[in-house]
Amino acid sequence: MKQITLAVLAAFAIAGTCSAAVKDGTYTKTVTGHNAPITVTVDIKGGKIASIATKDLESPGVGKVAIKKLEDSVIKNQSTNIDIVSGASVTSFQLLGAIKDCLKQAGAEKGDFNKRITDANKAPVTERADVVIVGGGGAGLASAVSALEHGAKVIIIEKLGFLGGSTNVCGGALNASGTKYQKALGIEDNPQKHFEQTMKGGHNVSDPKLVKVLADNAPSALLWLEGMGLKFNPKVGAATGALYQRSHYPNPAGGNTYVVTLEKQLAKYGPDRVKVFLETPATELIMKDGRVVGVKAKHKGQDVTAVADKGVIVTTGGFGSNVEFRQKVNTGVWKEADLGKEIGCSNIGVAAQGQGLQLAEKAGAELIGLSDIQVHPNGSPGTGLMLDIKTSGRNRLFINTNGDRFVNEGAARDVLSKAVFAQPGSTYWLVQNKLRYPDENAIDLLSGRTMRDMLAQGRVKKAANLDELAKIINVDPARLKAAIESYNQVARHEVEQDKFGFKATHTDDRPMVEGPWYVARKVPTIHHTMGGIHIDTGAHAVNAKGEIIPGLYAAGEVTGGIHGANRLGGNAVADLMVFGRIAGSNAAQAK
């Protein structure tokens, strides 16, 4: 009887994790991923999931991280009933759905491979460090590395299932002046010019002291990253709305390269110096005698307390995806526009909700400039994500649905986006040609992808000549040719500027005359929120009286005062590196 009971129990233990009914073999399913179709191949051997292979174009640091985590978990646990990865929910659900379909093809029944697996632990945990960082995005990672360099022990509290946050999906442009890369191209630049253009681009409402810190320290931040092994492309560009040719792009292109570099640096210090809590949203800053001394958080129902002996740094990013809040504070540059749910956001949705602002405000920090919201012209219809061909760089045209140019393509982001809103349907066609993509198999500096891959996804269309392009976008060929010729007259220096104010002042400016031509439809998207926690030049959070809140620091998009009413393209990465570095250093050395 005992043997029978044990056998039954063993059967129940196996049930839900695998099935003798499934047939060995290889099964494939293609599903719609976040960026593009995902093809999943599951290999069944001995009635178990032996391997999972995925062909995808998901974002490095986000979707690709989720895929690896979920594949490993499914194989280890022989179950598809596992927790998704926060911040990559679309990829997670689609991948798990594809795996389930493959198992069904193999003969699995509804309850097979379905044992509930979770890493949730209800026992409270308390950890202690010198510096606790809330938010493991670009600014948080920069703060962590800086604090470690100054001898601190560090804890990172991150609500997503991976590090890097929305830095993973940013274009990666870093504005810095007077660099060796600029000098090699004959570009004259200096921190004062960077300062002046940042002030002007921000409508002269930025805090000049903060802007000076940004401009003066951006070159050394670039060198700091190079010291960690990060490579920059020697071709200096101009991000959308940068106003000058000082945008430095990492190689490989894209913000994830910064994340990978900083993560590798963290790993050098080991678990005794730095601990990371993922899937752990912060819920409260702990106060004692007017000082911030720690953070309370939750990990899947588990209470987590992180005690900070020297300081807490808030680096949780902006609030661009919080539709209700952005509508509430939209009284500035975009007060005439409806920034409701019809307008997407270029950042990771769950990462851009503004919780860090609420935490800091409850601790006494002043919030400033919340109405300063940036709209970017490079959104993809339906999502607002900045996919495929980019508005950054030069030799690209904004063509409306009538076939006309309608704006100086080198203008600031708010000017570009307002011009798009004024067009029929608040949309336009972004047109590029062989100048930008001489080789469809080469990786693009700005997108980090090949034109071949972009064409395969279908959002970008290709035309051999302008007549064919006009047919694709349904405009009069003569009108389209006239629009492009107006640009080319400036690019050939036949006229100094056109009626929109465009001037050919960039080293890359050339006439656009030769096919193939590439086109994608674009819409405005929420890209950055310039308001947030009021900080001083040392990245200390301050109250409404300008007094430092002991133990509290902030860096990155969660702060206000640096970018004014409009951020220059390329200044965000510079901001998070410069002020993240300052926050980490000052917190680590606090008395």
Per residue in 92-108, pLDDT tens?
A: 999 999 999 999 999 99
Residue 413 annotated as catalytic: yes
Domain boundary among 475, 507, 525: 525
The reply to whether 505 and 550 lie within a common domain is no
78 CB contacts (<8 Å, ≥6 apart)? 17, 18, 48, 49, 113, 115
Pick 386 or 295 by higher pLDDT: 295
Q: Dihedral angle at the C-alpha atoms of 329, 331, 337, 342, nearest 10 degrees? A: 0
Checking DSSP bridges between strand 532-534 and strand 559-560, what pairing results, if any?
A: parallel
DSSP letters for 151-168: T--EEEE-SSSSSBGGGG
Q: What is the residue range of 486's domain?
A: 375-525
Q: How sure is the predictor about 585, in pLDDT bands with cuts at 50, 70 and 90? A: very high
**Strand, helix or coil at 265?**
helix
| Residue 210 · residue 561 · CB < 8 Å | yes
288 CB contacts (<8 Å, ≥6 apart)? none
Task: Spot the catalytic one: 326, 396, 413, 449.
Answer: 413
Checking DSSP bridges between strand 247-248 and strand 174-175, what pairing results, if any?
A: antiparallel
Domain-embedded: residue 5 = no
Q: What pLDDT, in 10s, does the model give residues 243-269?
A: 999 999 999 989 999 999 999 999 999
pTM: 0.91
Domain-embedded: residue 31 = yes
The reply to whether 516 and 570 lie within a common domain is no
What is the rounded distance in angstroms from the CA atom of residue 525 to the CA atom of residue 386? 8
SS3 for 224-258 is HHHHCCCCECCCCECCCCCCCCCEECECCCCCHHH
pLDDT at 219 exceeding the cut of 90: yes
The reply to whether 156 and 175 lie within a common domain is yes
The reply to whether 382 and 367 lie within a common domain is no
Domain boundary among 105, 133, 161: 105
The reply to whether 515 and 555 lie within a common domain is no
Locus of tokens 């903060």 = 210
| Residue 327 · residue 340 · CB < 8 Å | yes
Domain-embedded: residue 340 = no
| Residue 348 · residue 165 · CB < 8 Å | yes
| Residue 316 · residue 356 · CB < 8 Å | yes
Domain total in the chain: 3
Domain-embedded: residue 224 = yes
Region of poorest pLDDT, from 224-228, 279-283, 406-410, 444-448: 444-448
DSSP letters for 342-368: TS-BSS-GGG-S-HHHHHHHHTT--EE
Give me the pLDDT at residue 1, please.
Answer: 32
Mean pLDDT along residues 136-165: 98
Task: Locate 492 and state its tokens.
Answer: 């050939």
Domain boundary among 105, 137, 167: 105
| Residue 299 · residue 279 · CB < 8 Å | yes
Task: Locate 181 and state its tokens.
Answer: 């890369």
Domain-embedded: residue 349 = no
Locus of tokens 């493959």 = 102
The reply to whether 418 and 512 lie within a common domain is yes
**Strand, helix or coil at 500?**
coil
Instruction: Tell the burial category of 327 from Cβ atoms under 10 Å away from its Cβ (0-12, 13-18, 19+).
Output: middle
Q: Is 300 left (phi over 0), alpha (psi -120 to 50) or beta?
A: left
Where residue 312 sits, what CATH number does that domain have?
3.50.50.60
Residue 294 has phi, psi (to 5 degrees) of: 170, -175
Q: How sure is the predictor about 11, in pLDDT bands with cuts at 50, 70 and 90? A: very low
Q: What count of Cα atoms within 13 Å lies in the side-chain half-sphere of residue 75? A: 15
Mean pLDDT along residues 344-364: 96
Residue 210 has phi, psi (to 5 degrees) of: -70, -40
Q: How sure is the predictor about 20, in pLDDT bands with cuts at 50, 70 and 90? A: low
| Residue 266 · residue 144 · CB < 8 Å | yes
What is the rounded distance in angstroms from the CA atom of residue 323 to the CA atom of residue 525? 12
Domain-embedded: residue 453 = yes
Domain-embedded: residue 336 = no
What is the rounded distance in angstroms from the CA atom of residue 47 to the CA atom of residue 18? 7
The reply to whether 396 and 520 lie within a common domain is yes
Q: What pLDDT, in 10s, does the model give residues 494-533?
A: 999 999 999 999 999 999 999 999 999 999 999 999 999 9
Region of poorest pLDDT, from 34-43, 140-149, 277-286, 472-481: 34-43
Domain-embedded: residue 2 = no
Where residue 93 sits, what CATH number does that domain have?
3.90.1010.20
| Residue 44 · residue 22 · CB < 8 Å | yes
DSSP letters for 431-443: EEETTT-S-TTSB
What separation in angstroms does the CA of 525 have from each of 296, 330, 386, 575?
A: 33, 14, 8, 21
The reply to whether 67 and 168 lie within a common domain is no
The reply to whether 493 and 504 lie within a common domain is yes
Region of poorest pLDDT, from 306-320, 332-346, 444-458: 444-458
The reply to whether 379 and 368 lie within a common domain is no
Closest CA to 580 of 190, 198, 225: 225
pLDDT at 15 exceeding the cut of 50: no
What is the rounded distance in angstroms from the CA atom of residue 14 to the CA atom of residue 515? 61
Q: Bridge partners of 311?
A: 131
Where residue 433 sits, what CATH number does that domain have?
3.90.700.10
What is the rounded distance in angstroms from the CA atom of residue 74 to the CA atom of residue 54? 13
pLDDT at 342 exceeding the cut of 90: no
Q: Bridge partners of 363?
A: none
What is the rounded distance in angstroms from the CA atom of residue 526 to the CA atom of residue 529? 8
Q: How sure is the predictor about 382, in pLDDT bands with cuts at 50, 70 and 90? A: confident
Does residue 516 have a cis bond before it (omega within 30 degrees)?
yes
The reply to whether 88 and 171 lie within a common domain is no
What is the rounded distance in angstroms from the CA atom of residue 204 to the CA atom of residue 504? 25
pLDDT at 120 exceeding the cut of 60: yes
Of all residues in the chain, the percent with pLDDT exceeding 70 is 96
Checking DSSP bridges between strand 428-433 and strand 548-554, what pairing results, if any?
A: unpaired
Locus of tokens 């062909």 = 55
The reply to whether 66 and 199 lie within a common domain is no
**Letter for the amino acid at 52?**
I
